[in-house]
Amino acid sequence: MDIARTPSTIDGNNQLADAPPEPKDPPVIRREDYKPFPWLVPQVELSFDLGISKTTVQAKLSVERNPAANADPVIHLNGDGLQPLTVLIDGEPTDSWHMEDADLLLSLPGESHEVTITTEIDPSANTQLMGLYASDGMLCTQCEAEGFRRITFFPDRPDVLSTYRVHMTGDAEAFPVLLCNGNLEASGANDDGTHWAEWHDPWPKPSYLFALVAGQLVANTDSFTTMNGRKVTLNIYVRDGDLPRTGHAMESLKKSMRWDEKVFGREYDLDLFNIVAVSDFNMGAMENKGLNVFNTKYVLADEDTATDSDFDGIEGVIAHEYFHNWSGNRVTCRDWFQLSLKEGFTVLRDQLFSQDMGSEPVKRIEDVRVLRGAQFPEDSGPLAHPIRPDSYREISNFYTATVYNKGAEVIRMMRTMVGEERFRAATDLYFDTHDGEAATCEDFIRAMEQGAGIDLGQFRLWYSQAGTPKVTVRLEHDGETATLHLSQEVPATPGQPEKQPMPIPLKLALFDRETGKHHGEQLVTLTKAQDNFSFAGFAQPPVLSINRGFSAPVTIQRDTPVEDLVFLAAKDDDPFARYEALQDLIVSHLKQAVDGALDLAAMQSAREAIARALGAVLADDTLDDLMRGELLVLPSETYLAETMLIADPGRIHEERQAMRAALGTMLEAEFVALHQRASAVPFSLDAEARGARKVKTQALIYLAAGNPELGKQMAWAQYQGADNMTDRQGALMVLTGLTGIERTDALMDFYNRYQGNALVVDKWFALQASSMHPACMAHVESLAKHPDFTLKNPNRVRSLYMAFAYNPHAFHAASGEGYKLIADVILALDPINPQTAARFVPQLGRWRRIEPGRSALMKEQLERIASAPELSRDTYEQVSRSLG
């Protein structure tokens, strides 16, 4: 699943009804308590009589005792908002069952049985978008993590693997397309205006990978022939009218299939691969076996409605879900504590794919920016947890940046330590050994040890310890020897006050100051609390480039002279290290400025040094514009706050904006020239044109900060002349932060041009909610009353309120109104879609790291949420942990 549930009861008509009050202290599920399920369910037959407001489900389960588990005559079947209409054992009615809370418990006297249960559900009432739900007249499912129990009673856990045979019946006009996992075996029409289809998935899978879609859809159809000659039919199903925007998604799918064969040796294993685009979806996409369900955001694109970033996102998410066919489906996770086994590994795979499809250094910088913006704050806050958590109350709260992005970095470190060839041998061993099994993180590590020939005993700490390690670096020079002194500290996190040293692989190079060259990149691994590494052959003190390529997900702490950072920003041959030097130069200055440690002369001197470094970036003919664009991006306010023990968001915003304005003024001529040069590049999707569009927007950002009238004039001209969404959105983004008629005209034109296109209207909401405009909060409050806004669509909620929550300038308003606004959203959204509501809580949960005035206001809002009656367990867990 790509990242973007509460029990309910039944009314007298056996329909999903409002949930009862959640327990204020829901039970804790612990990894150490895992036990194999007492019953196997090798085969499942499902029969659906489909309807928007009433769907009847008959589930026939072949069950047999599990020899690997303790014997239990009772089979415990999970349910959520269900009541059985009938229960049969071996075809006969039985009363040997009872309900325990939402679950059905059934006594089975023998070794094997056939259990048949009939339920009835109302998809139209399912606002949680988990289980079977209605989306704009279509029926679709989302079962990860625990949604299948909202369809029928079942041991809804990932270690129960079954083959599925599914019979679907529905109105032929309302549901002309009937889709499920696996291969279509038969279909036909009935005399009553309904039709049917039978699907069979031969590969055992857990219930969370079950999928069903029924609706009025059209398909972009293509094919792919695998490396062993299997011809696979590929379909991307969308609403009528959206078909012309599916070409990029189809090409991305075929590239993904080809790449996975070449790089990981993984071949597709069914005759069909179907993707369906859904407008109402909690996440980005879901890897259901053979039937991927996607948020429309990650399927639909053309140059008029999608930015370059959207095109990249579609390519990456298509790849991610396809790669899950092996790293998640063929080999799944034993329990939800092992979530990073499939998600961290698959994120790494999609990152490597995207590197190969585009610019490797640019992709690496983008991935690190995401890690630092989302996961580092998570690691240093009240919600910190290891990539393999030890406990949870609500599993949906662990679809986090730690599990996904840090999980990917941990596996990337293994790849760095053993090399690509040995890493491939180890992953081959992992897939071959555990094909068709529900595996653990330990199984993956063991395969890595055996396949790559490495001892990962100490490395296992990366799976069990939370927190971002801090590595302190000091370089000494004596005679002709440079000595690198390294020490590490893993900060205390909730429940883990004491930490052990972890192995930290660091790529480094030592540059000669005069020649600007080094003698080769080296890899050192810090395994102790502190250690020294010596390097001979340096008559003069060298310049250290460390953690090249971001070889370890750590923070580097060192007192690097400004002249060394300027040197590295201009001359380092590792693109990430060059980017990092420039970032360090800016962060160091801004931290001093925020602390008030600089007088006017020192402030001017620092800004001039940064301007020289940026000037070198602008003038460097060896850089392509994609990389140049990355080097021009300032450290985010969120990342700046993360580098401080206690952050003052107001001061951070003020100093960052002031520095941007100063740079825009000092380099005005250069930015104007850059914009003019880039504007002459005609539109295409190749790297040169994409890079040109990227630097055009960055130039506008600096110019608008340094000379608002000039920036407004150039942004308005770019908006009016744009022939693609990247240029149009980039210009509108700049204009939304300014005042004047151009802002109003551009916003009106944008909305009128794209009214009716939900994904583009989402952009319109998000641009205003994330703007630097001083009246941003008032704009958000007004937009919440717009006819196009609804709390029932997660994309629309995220476009307005999540964009605002991640806008430090507006969210951290000194009055506390931003905090209250988001708390109000959480309380209003929780009864509708608790999973989405809970994802807003972490922004308030950072209160301990914020200056006292704002901190008290944030905490006050958390306490207000916590005191609300009938909170979902999703939101309750996040709020209670945030308050500590």
The DSSP code sequence of 515-581 is T--BS--EEEEE-SSEEEEEEE--SSPPEEEESGGG-SS-EEE----HHHHHHHHHH-SSHHHHHHH
* CA distance linking residue 282 with residue 815, whole number of Å: 31
Ramachandran class of 749: left when φ > 0, alpha when ψ lies in -120 to 50, beta otherwise: alpha
**Partners of 523 in the beta sheet?**
507
SS3 291: strand
- Spatial CB neighbours of 816, under 8 Å, sequence gap ≥ 6: 854, 857, 858, 860, 861
Q: What is the DSSP string of 135-164?
A: ETTEEEEE-TTTTGGGTS-B--STT--EEE
- Paired with 477 in beta bridges are 482
Q: CB neighbours of 447 closer than 8 A, spacing ≥ 6?
A: 426, 427, 429, 430, 433, 434
- The partner residues of 509 in beta bridges, in order of sequence, read 545
Find tokens 């094997």 and name the residue. Answer: 112
What is the rounded distance in angstroms from the CA atom of residue 752 to the CA atom of residue 664? 32
The SS3 of residue 452 is helix
Three-state SS letters, 88-111: EECCEECCCEEEECCEEEEECCCC
How far is 628 from 614, CA to CA, in rounded Å?
A: 10
Rounded to whole angstroms, the Cα distance separating 508 from 572 reads: 11
Judge whether 173 counts as a catalytic residue: no
Q: What are 433's two structure tokens?
A: 């050994």
User: Which residue's entry shows tokens 């293509």?
Assistant: 222
The Cα 496–Cα 491 span in angstroms is 9
Number of residues that this document lists for the chain: 884
CA–CA gap between residue 544 and residue 688 (Å, rounded)? 32
**Active-site annotation holder among 22, 287, 315, 321:** 321
169 close to 49: Cβ distance less than 8 angstroms: yes
CA distances to 119, 270, 456 from 569, rounded to whole Å, are: 64, 49, 35
DSSP 8-class letter at 786: S
Task: Look at residues 144, 146, 143, 119 and name the one whose alpha carbon lies nearest to residue 132.
Answer: 143
Cα gap 697→235, rounded to integer Å: 36
Positions marked active-site:
321
